[in-house]
Structures are given as C-alpha cells and as structure tokens.
Structure 1
C-alpha cells in the first residue's frame, strides 16, 4: 500500500483552544502516524499514511476545528525526512520556545473563554472530584490570555506552572480520550488554585464572601482578568454605598444573573440576545430593562441595563449561594485601571470593599469585561476586552513594516500590526492619570512580547495634548499622523475589508481637525490612505473647553449666543433667556460674556456636543459625571416614541454641505415653550439629526461620493440614531456599514490608525 509523509502547519488561533488534541483525534481516527506540537505561535507536525487519509487530514484541520479555534491557513508540504514508522501512532509533543530569529509571523493569542456546559455540569455534580471547584476548566473553556506568559502555549509558560498537577490531573492531561487532554490550565482541589478570605480557605472563604454580600456588603472578587466589585443588585443601600465609595455617582452598573430565565425577567431577551449572552465571550450585553425592575441606582438615567451570565465556576458558585442578581463591576476607583495584583488591590480597593475573595493564581494580563449591544440582527462592540481581545483582526492592506497605532485619549486601546494581522489590545481606560498610563505601558510590553511584534513605525492622533500622541513622539520612530475621524472611519472600513473609496459619517465628541478647530460631526469621502471633508455640522463655541464637556449648560449657551452664522435665525431672545433664567445667575452671565468676547471658547462642529446642548435645553442634564451621560439621558427620554421632526437646514458653505443646527434648537425651544412633552421633543431631536445626516450624505452622493457609507464614532452607540440613519440611507439605495468586532467609539481608533498606516506604507513601497 502506498504511503506518503507530509509536514503540516496550521496558523491562526490554534494554541490554547484544544487544537493539538483535535489534531491527535483526527489523525488517530484516520489511521495516521506522526506528531503535533505548538511551535512559536502556531501548530506544526508531521503526518504519514495512505494518500487519501492524509488529504482528508488536511481538509479536517482547515474546516472541522474546535469551536474556539480560528484557523487562518493550513499548509501541507513534502517532508524532508523519512517520517515515522508505520504503526507507530500519533503523538502530541512538548515543544520548547521557538527561536525569535526564525519567527515567520506575529503570534496569535487566544482570548479567555467562559465555562462550558460540560464543566458546569461537573461543578454541581456531587460525585465529581471537581464538585464545587471554582477553577474548573477544560480544553474548551477557561483562562487563556490572562494566564499566558510566553508562547508556545504550554503549562510551563503560563501562571499555572506554579501548580504541579496531581496524579489524577496528570492522567487526564495525558489521555487522548479525555476532555482535558493537554488542557494547560487543568486543575482540581488537590493541586490547583485555592480561594482565600483573610485566613480562611476554600469553601470557608466562599461562605464568608457570600455572607458579606447577603448582609449588604461589598466584596472585591479576583476574577479572570483582575478584581471585580460585587454587591447585591436588589439592595438600594448597598448600591448607594458602592457608588459613594467608588466615586461613580451615575454611570450604570452591570448585573450578573444566574441564567437566561433570570435575564429574561430583568431585560428584554430575544434570540439574538440569548446567543450573545451564552457565547464563550459572556459579554455584558446592553438591553432594554424588563418587567422586573431593580433599584434605580443600578442604571440611573437610562432604560438600558447591562446583563451578563457567569463567566467562571466561581461566579456560578457566588450566584447560586447568594440567590439574587449581583452587581459585578470593575475593581477600580474612578478613572483608574482595574486592579490585578493582590497587594495593590488591597491598597486601591481597601476603601471600597468590605472584604476580599482572592486566590493564589496570578493574573498575568489585565482584562475588563467586554460590552456589546444589539444592532439590527447582529451586535455592536462598545468595549472590546475579555473573551474578544486580543484575537487578531485583519488588515486589508498588508503592513510592510511592523507598526503600532497608539489610539486616542479616551477609552484607550492600542493596536500592533504586522503583515495582514492587527492585534487590538483590550480596553485600558482613559489616559488621564498615571495609573492608567502605567497600565498602557505594562499592557504594551506584555502583548508585544507575546505576539513578537516590535514596531518600527508609530501611527498616532495629531492632537498634541493626548498622552498617546506624546508617547508616540517619544519613541524616536517614524511617525504616521492619522486624523481622529479618518481613523474612526478607517476602523469600520478595514473591518469590512474595504480598500476602495467610501463615504464616511463620523459623529463623536471631539477630535482635532485639519484646520485647528475641533471636529465631531463630519461627512468625508475617504479610503484607507486619505480623506476629504465634504460635509459637517455647524460650529459653536465650547465655553471653558473641557468645562463645557463636563457642564452641558455651557455648551447650550455656546449654541444660543455664539453659533456659527449660516444665514438662519437662532432661538428667539425670550426663549434663550427663559433657559438662561434657570441657571446660576453669575455662572450664566460669565459664560455669556466669554462667548461674546470669544474668550477661551474653542469652536467645535460636534454631533456629541449638540446632543449635550439639546439635553440641557430640555432640562434633562446640566452637568455630567461620565462621558456620554447627557446623550444617554436624551436617548432614554426619547424611548420608542415618534414625533414630528424639528426644523433643520442644510446650506453650502465654502465647498462643504453644512447642517445648520440653529433652526433645530430654535424649534426645540419654541415647541417646549408651547407645552410639548420633553419625551416627544427628545424623540424629534433624534429624528431630525437622522434626517439631516441622510440629507448631507445624499447631497454628497449626488456630487459623486461613493455609494458605500461607513458609520463610525461614539454617537452611533445611540441605538435610535444608528437605526434611523441606517434606515434612511438604505432607503436611498446606499450600502451602509458599521463596525461589529471593533468598538464604534474611541476604543476602535487605534485599529483605524494601524489600517491607515499600513495602507500608506504599502502605497509608498509600491
């Protein structure tokens, strides 16, 4: 019988996802001999046997891989040696670190995966030796990115190396028939990590944490990617204490529930939501609140609630013992990264938590929870973190040099790019304080070492005040500046594989424009290398700069008394004075003087700031404690109501189509003075902005702009605005794209920067 010998190599996310056991089972089932091993960031080996069986082996590797794997390519080639002896069988080999100088591509890191159904069944099976063991896992679930210290992925290069396997675990690890065959985080009560609460261990520690939560206390729980703060979601007093201690007065909390039935009581859960909630990502999913209402302090100012299911065995044990939904939020103080180190957590969370439920497995990499929301038939990523990052994304144009996109200032991420792969970091936070900046440096070093990407080019935002820009300029490497809104749009285009020109709608808070003003309501014609502005929002001053962002009433006064003159009258003086009359007299007078004298009043063409102004004019929000709070209040007020649109006007100004917001705000105040309900006016405002957007894009397309439209920027987290804009553009026969895997807000900026830099470098090389 003829016999062939082939070397094979599988690239993609093929380490830490049960791929070697899958290869072993596949080869054995086909009667093949050989071996497989983790090599650098991929899987390689040799296979020998009948030609048809070897061919089928290659097909199965590419198309029948385990659910957590993402196979990018399978290469089969003639072996350079005689190969294994016939009948010798197939083996999984341990492999040492691959020499860096021979590395052929950036290594791909598997994200963490939530507990699977098989492990969950064992967790609550009294006769199973892992009964009630919080750290249960197998090849299909458990920690990955948070424990990997180096590649190739073997136990000795993870934080689990501190826990030698007991005889029973070692036997499962070596048994090809077992679900834990080569499951690197394998553990059990006899040999794995142990819970701790002060001097208590194991079940006693868990009981102490449960008693504290049930009694109304706050517990710092060490999760997969760092500490989380946990309290009773039904206890208004506990929630108030958590908000005060955490210095988070209004931003909604996420709620972890036991199962889909409980989720369905607290939120509206349809088929798409069920699929997202039960996925291996286990994201926080933003949903409309259901018939059973939790205290207002869980999600003040909005009818949306963040719901997620248990991620680990520990979470399941907590929820079953507490028998109530739990607030599970990031273990940090305001504007700080989540705590990962045990000693540091005691310091940073000591004034917040009433106790610490910890364990002795180190967290190697910081990962917060991912946040998604439904968008049409799919989902939209709000925050990309645990379960999603750092799985690579595609670059439509290959980067001829390794590079980094260093992101923006808010919702910071960075992206390492090499070849056609982009490795988008997990959410880090706002680069405001030294702790977050240190977290950025730490994450950059760790992800760089794992992927092997050593940047030779740095892409950055042009804003000189961003700490990310300052970091980029200090590298001493060639720089590629990428305008903020071009980066937003490029992120959407790159995710969808666009390399040809497109029309872009970029709506967000603020970003530095080419003309030195602040942009945020932009219509562009762009590709991955360049753009031109074809439309915009009318500008208004921001009295006091950042102070106007924190206090939307200031922005409202900027629109009332200093909006760009575009030929239409603003609100009637008596209506403007009615709004001003409810503000602190000295403050309103001072701000009006600043506007009239143009003192410390940078101008902005921002959709996000217009939302702020409308929210304040309607009396919904005058000051905010987190970014986007005013827009959230306006969307919540609008709910699902329908109302006649407000007046709006599109004008031509210096070659650009411009939406003049003055008629809209004048009509808003006039109809409010006539007694129209705030909810109806909030709905009308959304309808009007969508109509104005559709008209801006329509005018651009009539002038020759592409008929493919990318929507990007934080304003499109607003479900109503996104749905209305998408519907109106599609009604014009346009193709409309929005990001799915890449955050639509500033968390996607770094990926857009990387895509632009790669395209520009490729064009230069060509």
Structure 2
C-alpha cells in the first residue's frame, strides 16, 4: 500500500450536466488522475466522490473547470472533504432519485460531426439511419417526460436497445455511453410514408420517396425534432404559392433550409457573425439580406429583402438536403395554431394542406418551434427563443425570494419560472387567443414545473384585465402580482444585462395596458425593479375600431391625419385616401369625434402603421407588424435627412409636425423610399433627444431599449448610433427577445422586488 496520504472529496455539480457526456468525461479524468470513487446522476445534477492524493484531487477539480464537455454548463460546484473508504477503482453508478431537483435539462442539440461521418459511411452500421445521435448531440428537451434525464423517463423508453447499442451505452469509453436516445436501425425509431388519405406507401427508402415527391412539387408534412414542418421545393413557385393558399398564410415569410453555408451564400449575404450563428449547435433560423436576382421563389418572402435560412439540425434533414439547394421548412399548422407534434394529430389537422406525410415513431413530448435570430449591431438578437435554447436558464443578478411563475403577455407568449438566480423560459407558445395555443400554454406550465421540480409560490402577470394569461393567473390559488407591461419591458432588458440602478427606458411597441387605462407603446420611462415614472410619451391618438385599427393600418392613418389637420383632412391629395370609400372615411371621422370604440393609444407601432398606410405601402396587414416591416424594407439606406421636430419637457411628444412634413413630401411626389428613410431617421433623432432631456433631468446615463419596434434593424441602428454619439451607456436585448417573448423576465424581476418590500 502506498505511503501517500489519501483524501476523499464529495463533489456536487449543478448545471447542464446530464445528457451531455459529463459522466464519461468525469470517468476519464478520474482515471487520468488515478482517483477512485464514483459518479452518478441525481436530481440536483451529478454527485461525485473521489479519493486520492491532494495533488490528484486538485488536478481533477481543475480539469472539470477547464475541460468540461462543450454542451455542458456548470452553474455551481460544491466540494466537501469526507471520510475515506476502501474504493480501489472509479466507476459510474446508476441514478439515485431525490425529492429536490435543481438539475438542468439540456436543450435539443444539432447532430454532431462524428455522427454525420457515421451517417454517410457505407461501412457503418448506422449508415443513413435518420435517428443517429450520441452524448454530444440529438434530442433532449423535446423527448423528456421527467427527470432525471435517463432513458426510462424519455420517449425512448419504448425502444429496448439491441445488444450492440447496449454495449455502447454501458461502455464509459464510448461516445454513446449513457446517450439516452441511443439507437440503430435494428432497435430504434423508424420512418414511414403516408399519402393524404392516410394510406401507408410501401417503401424500403421513405426518404428517397420523399425527395422524389418534393421534386414533383408536392407538399410533404415531415415529423422532425420539435414538431412537424410543411416542406416544399423552394424553387418551385407553383408549389410555394399552393402552400400559402392551403396554409392560409398570405404574406408572412417562410423559413428555408439549405444543406450548407456555401448554398446559403448563393442567395444571401452572410457575415462572419451570421455564419457563426448558422453553424451554432442551436441551429436557429437566421434572417439574412437576400441577394438580388436569385432564382428562389418570389413567394417565399414577398416584399421582404431578407430570407430566413437555417442549416440541417437532424440526421433526417441532412439526408433530405443531399438532393436540394433549399427547401421551404415552415411550421406545420394553420396560421396562429401551435405546431403539430403527433402523427395522428398531424394527419387530422394537416390533411387539407399536405399531400404526403413522412412520419416516425419517436414521440415528441414537447412541441418546440425553430428559434429565430437576426444579427444587428454585431449581436445576435433573438426574435423567437425556442428550440435549441429551451430550457436553458437566463441568469439574473438578484436571486428571487420565492419561486415565481411569470405568465407573460397575450401575443408571442412565453412564460417563465424562477428559482434563485435562474429564470427558465418556456418555448414559444404563440398568441393565446387561439384555443389550441391556450391549451398548449396550460400544458407547458405543468410540464416545465414537473421537469424542473419548481413549485411556484407567487404568479406575476400583466395588468391588462383582458389578457388570457392574466385571467388564467387569477384563477390559480396563488398570490398574484400585476405588472405594468412597459415597466416589465424595461425590467427585462435590465435583468438580462444585470443592471439594477435607475435607468432611462425607451420602450417602443405596439400595445400595452397603461396605468391610466389607455393603450401605451411609445414610452420614455425612468425606472428600476422597484417602480417607474412616465417621463414622456407619444401624443395619444384614437384607434378607430380598436383592434381593427391594428389589422387595417389605414384607420390609424386617418386618425393621425384627423389629429393633425382636423375635419378637412379627407380633402388632402393623398393617393391612399382615394382607395378608401367615402362612407368609411365619414364613419372613421364620426368614431374619432364621438369617441365611439376608439381607445386612445400612444403606441409607436401604430405610428409606423399610419405612415406605412399614408405612403401607400401597406393599408391592411396579414400578419403582425407587416406594415412596419414593409416600410423598413423599401427605405433608401443612403438617405441621412430627417424631418424637423421640436422636443419639449411637457411629457407629451407631438408628432403632428412630422405628419405634416410627410404629407408635404407625398404631395411633392418624393419617392416613398426616401420618405420612409426620413421617417426612420426622424424618429431616431426624436427619441435620442428625449433621452438627452431625461439624462439632464435625472442624471442617469444608462438607456435601455426594449419593445417590438426595436426588431426594426434600421431604426435600431440609427438610434443606437445617435445614443453612442451622446456617450450614453446603452443596454439592449440579446438573450431574450425584445418583443413580448422576453416580457416574463421583467415580470419576474419586478415581482421579486415587490416581494422584498412586503
């Protein structure tokens, strides 16, 4: 026996350490350091006991911190010295369940290079097997039923491993050691192809059959990782148009998948940062500037200068894409419904859309749409945070006093759960006014609580009394904290950037219930997590018809013209006015005059809508923010001019001067591309000046940008440039969306502050 002094440490590691190759990594470095002991998964992460010399134990801990698997994320390491025992070897032991759970489930991960090499190797037993995976890649969150993350608690439980897979699974030296979805053609999930009448098509190669169908212009519903995609050949104009008609999606862009970066570069300009995020293991859809004169169908993104591309992220995708330069890959649903995940559900719901169905028998337990990012100002800005990111937490500076459930907003809903310094977002839920989305919302709350073992003690919700998320919160038997919408936006960007001191907030969006009962959305706030004051806001105007004014921007245009020019506005020589029947103009005038179903709004989003309609760009929308997006797309980026304006200290920010100058430019037949650019520039100058006034009044140099309007990259870039020139410290979103998809983070931060004061 050695004369060296032996010590034994118990090491508890929390974070994303299950399903990412962490145990075999620990096994290897323990052997490398000549240590005895064991490791096992538990519901807190992993528990390790190691025994050896002091030097070896120190080296072991250093290697954990410096050499951990790339997909792991360690949030905490706790080490305690304990009594030695007679262990002679290091081993991996079976999971022991515990009552308390703080482990983190890994998001789903795109297929790795090692698996791709095997997928394309004719001599490998998994050659062309569309469900190949290992500890470094594959499904995670979407197949998890409960924790710990072990095979019996996933949708792979129904697939007993064959001897060859079992051998890999049990071998700590193997890349598939304890890879829970491990499978092969002999024992794992299988593909099957069905026609639109739910009749199985006999085929030894369903993927090749599917490729041929797509080449013939057919629409195929394909079951993927987090749900079904509706897929067509991106170069077949007729097929793309037919998909639009059947799906009921008139103008909203479709997402695309390409086999490689080289393929994407044929159609889009791709920066270094954009290429990095396209290749990232999260595999989001990345919005890219389209090149001119490309042969991709014009119907994929009508009126839009950008295309949303992603790279393949499952083995099935790679096998499909071998024969195509680009495929349309859009969520398999009717407009506004959640993505389909079950085979029978897809066939039932999509039978009037899809011609064929490529199915598999590995259950998807959590639907998860593709995530979307846009690189703006050299940062990836999440537009939708879903597959590949969920349920990885966002960490905040101030630990929550209690477990909080924040239920988010009505549109672009996501909710979040907090535990100490971790905030766990749901995947993208969607618009809750759709019954299927509302059911998905309720189910997902239960599921996330279950797999995270977080029992909320309080619920934070929006103060809008008609939000379905708020109504749901009030039905629960828990204390409720109501949070003002735009305060939550401010708190969200502050919490993400770990700023807690008072901050100037430029909060610009489409709608949010204000403390005065009107609809806000063009707000300059001064606040922190404890509270806020409304320093300035766009002058309120009527929304004739309420929500109809969102769907028909011409109504907002009439409202702004009436506010600016009075009852004679209809005599203005504006081409768009000639498209509106006289009786409609008279009706809108009456509604605004008599305050009939015309709530007041200070919304910046509605101002964009109004200008878009005035310029004849978009008078009716088929999807959210369409009018503003089209106006951004047509602007002339070389134009630096802006309209004259005056900013006062009275709180109300009048844009009547701006409206008059826009009308003058239309009268003078100035191209709409120039007018749009001048409008964007003017609004940026306008809010930069207001921020300067706020700084002088409150001696605050932090300025935060949040709200859906900041998804407009041209406006964002112009405003940020001006604020930098003024030496502001600017905080913006990158970890959560600037739209309502990031709202729950702010709700949690404010609720936590409120709990401290109770």
Q: TM-score range by the shorter chain?
A: over 0.9
How far apart are 1:557 and its partner, in Å?
Answer: 0.6
In structure 2, the residue matched to 1:93 is 93
Q: Comparing 338-347 with 354-363, which one deviates more in the overlay?
A: 338-347
How far apart are 1:344 and its partner, in Å?
Answer: 1.2
**What SS does the corresponding residue of 1:400 show, helix, strand or coil?**
coil
Query: Structure 2 vs 1, CA of residues 728 and 509 (structure 1 numbering), >3 Å: closer, same or farther?
Result: same
How far apart are 1:417 and its partner, in Å?
Answer: 0.8
1:288 is the counterpart of 2:282: no
In structure 1, the residue matched to 2:197 is none
In structure 2, the residue matched to 1:436 is 437
1:675 is the counterpart of 2:669: yes
In structure 2, the residue matched to 1:218 is 219
In structure 1, the residue matched to 2:76 is 73
1:111 is the counterpart of 2:107: yes
1:299 is the counterpart of 2:295: no
In structure 1, the residue matched to 2:695 is 701
In structure 2, the residue matched to 1:508 is 509
**What SS does the corresponding residue of 2:183 show, helix, strand or coil?**
coil
Show CA shifts across 1:4-59 (max 9, x none): 10000111111111111111111111111111111004111201111111112112
1:314 is the counterpart of 2:299: no
Show CA shifts across 1:393-424 (max 9, x none): 11322111111000000001100112111101
In structure 1, the residue matched to 2:737 is 743
Which residues of 2 match residues 146-545 of structure 1 at below 5 A?
Answer: 146-198=142-194, 199-200=200-201, 203-291=204-292, 292-321=294-323, 323-545=324-546
How far apart are 1:570 and its partner, in Å?
Answer: 11
CA distance in 2, matches of 1:125, 1:41: 39
Query: Structure 2 vs 1, CA of residues 355 and 250 (structure 1 numbering), >3 Å: closer, same or farther?
Result: same
In structure 1, the residue matched to 2:639 is 642
Show CA shifts across 1:343-386 (max 9, x none): 11111111111111010100011100000000222200000000
1:31 is the counterpart of 2:23: no
**What SS does the corresponding residue of 2:403 show, helix, strand or coil?**
strand
Show CA shifts across 1:495-536 (max 9, x none): 111121111111000100011110001011111121111111
How far apart are 1:195 and its partner, in Å?
Answer: 0.5
CA distance in 1, matches of 2:567, 2:174: 73
Q: Comparing 108-117 with 88-97, which one deviates more in the overlay?
A: 88-97
RMSD of aligned Cα (Å): 1.6
1:4 is the counterpart of 2:1: no
1:601 is the counterpart of 2:604: no
Report the count of equivalent residues: 749
1:611 is the counterpart of 2:613: no
Q: Comparing 578-587 with 753-762, which one deviates more in the overlay?
A: 578-587
Show CA shifts across 1:690-747 (max 9, x none): 0001011011001115211110000000001111111111111101111111011010
How far apart are 1:630 and its partner, in Å?
Answer: 0.5
Query: Structure 2 vs 1, CA of residues 201 and 641 (structure 1 numbering), >3 Å: closer, same or farther?
Result: farther
Q: Comparing 14-23 with 599-608, which one deviates more in the overlay?
A: 14-23
How far apart are 1:62 and its partner, in Å?
Answer: 2.5
Show CA shifts across 1:647-672 (max 9, x none): 3222333xx2x321111111011012
1:721 is the counterpart of 2:715: yes
Show CA shifts across 1:597-623 (max 9, x none): 221111100110000001000000000
Q: Is the 8 A contact 2:574 2:614 kept in 1?
A: no
Q: Is the 8 A contact 2:43 2:102 kept in 1?
A: no
Q: Is the 8 A contact 1:460 1:468 kept in 2?
A: yes
How far apart are 1:573 and its partner, in Å?
Answer: 6.7
In structure 2, runs of 5+ residues without a counterpart are 195-199
CA distance in 2, matches of 1:50, 1:142: 38
CA distance in 2, matches of 1:372, 1:28: 42
**What SS does the corresponding residue of 1:52 show, helix, strand or coil?**
helix
CA distance in 2, matches of 1:619, 1:579: 5
**What SS does the corresponding residue of 1:417 show, helix, strand or coil?**
strand
How far apart are 1:126 and its partner, in Å?
Answer: 1.1
Query: Structure 2 vs 1, CA of residues 489 and 674 (structure 1 numbering), >3 Å: closer, same or farther?
Result: same
CA distance in 1, matches of 2:389, 2:113: 20
Q: Is the 8 A contact 1:109 1:145 kept in 2?
A: yes
Q: Is the 8 A contact 1:2 1:50 kept in 2?
A: yes
Query: Structure 2 vs 1, CA of residues 41 and 370 (structure 1 numbering), >3 Å: closer, same or farther?
Result: farther
In structure 1, runs of 5+ residues without a counterpart are none
Q: Is the 8 A contact 1:48 1:84 kept in 2?
A: no
Q: Is the 8 A contact 1:562 1:596 kept in 2?
A: no
Q: Is the 8 A contact 2:45 2:102 kept in 1?
A: no
CA distance in 2, matches of 1:665, 1:503: 26
Query: Structure 2 vs 1, CA of residues 689 and 284 (structure 1 numbering), >3 Å: closer, same or farther?
Result: same
1:590 is the counterpart of 2:611: no
Query: Structure 2 vs 1, CA of residues 365 and 215 (structure 1 numbering), >3 Å: closer, same or farther?
Result: same
Q: Is the 8 A contact 1:488 1:712 kept in 2?
A: yes
Q: Is the 8 A contact 1:146 1:365 kept in 2?
A: yes
In structure 2, the residue matched to 1:14 is 17
1:137 is the counterpart of 2:139: no
Query: Structure 2 vs 1, CA of residues 540 and 166 (structure 1 numbering), >3 Å: closer, same or farther?
Result: same
In structure 2, the residue matched to 1:666 is 660
Q: Is the 8 A contact 1:499 1:527 kept in 2?
A: yes
TM-score norm. by structure 2 comes to: 0.97
How far apart are 1:569 and its partner, in Å?
Answer: 9.2
Query: Structure 2 vs 1, CA of residues 293 and 539 (structure 1 numbering), >3 Å: closer, same or farther?
Result: farther
Show CA shifts across 1:72-107 (max 9, x none): 11111012x43352xx32111111322x2xx1x643
Show CA shifts across 1:551-594 (max 9, x none): 0000111111136xxxx999977436654233222222211221
How far apart are 1:293 and its partner, in Å?
Answer: 4.4
CA distance in 2, matches of 1:578, 1:211: 48
Q: Is the 8 A contact 2:233 2:326 kept in 1?
A: yes
Show CA shifts across 1:120-179 (max 9, x none): 111111111111111111111100000111111111111111111111111111222221
CA distance in 2, matches of 1:588, 1:749: 37
TM-score norm. by structure 1 comes to: 0.96
**What SS does the corresponding residue of 1:5 show, helix, strand or coil?**
strand
For 1:734, which of 703, 728, 732 is the aligned residue?
Answer: 728
